[in-house]
Structure 1
Amino acid sequence: MGADGPPYTHWDVGSGAEREFVEALYARAVQLEPDLAPPTGAMGAGRIAVKVAVDRLLRSRVFAGVTERMLVGNMKQAIAFLGDPGVKARVLDRLRESVSADTRVLIGHSLGSIVAYELLCAAAGETPVELLVTMGSPLGIPLLVFDRLTPVPVDGVGAWPGTGIGWVNVSDPDDFVALRPQLGGLFAAADSDVSVDDRVVDNGSDPHAAQRYLNSRETGSAVGAVIGG
């Protein structure tokens, strides 16, 4: 998560998808870290509930060291990318410019995994990418993310990100940003038995850390199988 952007606080969490995103993350966080649950009667409703949820999320292992500004800002970026065609087009254009003729592996962490997935879907096989690696991905979050992807999933199954592209998804069970950590079964290629290769890692005290995902054996072996071949 980056530190750039406006000085957001919980007051900037909008109604609708933004609030639902915070609530979904917080509900999963409490399941994994019961100590994050508020004292009886403290949750309240409306804006008070959002404040409590954000405050408690910032105490979690997943968001250790993350500021309120960063948490709210990144959540807003995710919702804007999924819901605003103009934002999506600009973001995809920037990533497209970074994919060169010798790019064989595309790696996306957290929100970046959504962007990487949608770029490959939009490219329709017109990139040299052979493997998509997603890490700590929220792609499987129902309604808020999965059901708002482009292309829209059909009958509960999302599109495969390009013909001939492999997909390795790496997740830590304690990383609640990957609310549905296993993506196998959610995405399928037409007329093919290829599926997502879900791999589980242990990132220790920092479950969502991009560096720990990148340094894992599971990620390294996936990338090495392509670029080392």
Structure 2
Amino acid sequence: MVVASPFTASLTFSVASLNRTSSIPQLSRRYSHRSIVSALPRPYGDSSTIGLSSKTNGAPLNLDDKDFLLTSTSYGPIEARKGNPPIMPAVMTPGGPLDLSSVLFRNRIIFIGQPVNSTVAQRVISQLVTLATIDEDADILVYLNCPGGSTYSVLAIYDCMSWIKPKVGTVCFGVAASQGALLLAGGEKGMRYAMPNSRIMIHQPQSGCGGHVEDVRRQVNEAVQSRHVSIYFLLWHYSP
């Protein structure tokens, strides 16, 4: 799918077929009556301990109930700790309920489904760095349904994707607009996909200016600089 843009280079994404073979581990029929986590190979299935080693000191990474967002309490089967993201559906595992975000994380999947601000950027960067520490040779997949967001926050995620050793693939579901298109472009070459009904849009930077003349001039210069940075990265990713 070719996305029209005001730039000199065309942006080309691979349009994923609905029947293409997914890079995510597929569950066989014999696991149809079991949870997705119990069907995964060790250490993810049939064990409460993640048998992966830290890249820094070789110590095993162990998770217990307090590490999960969802726990059984007197207030009900699901409870979110203060300051954590909204409650997500639970997946039953041999060790008890596990929130959906943890299941995705264990499969090295990160989902961005909202405008990117500093909070979202902090979460995504933390996930990327943690996954890179757990296994620096395994790929990471980022699913995007992102209408854009703060340029600074998006560039922080983009820099992290470029800096860590694992290859990071990107898949667009729904929309990747504004700076969300830059995140989609930041995926590893050959690992960038757009679903048949997805939409990708790029527009000029927008900024509200106010204050003294010198302040307005600096804000305009910053917006122009952001535009040049975005164009440079897009052209760099899609140059032959």
TM-score (normalizing by structure 2): 0.28
Higher helix share: 1
Higher strand share: 2
Q: Which has the larger radius of gyration?
A: 2
TM-score (normalizing by structure 1): 0.29
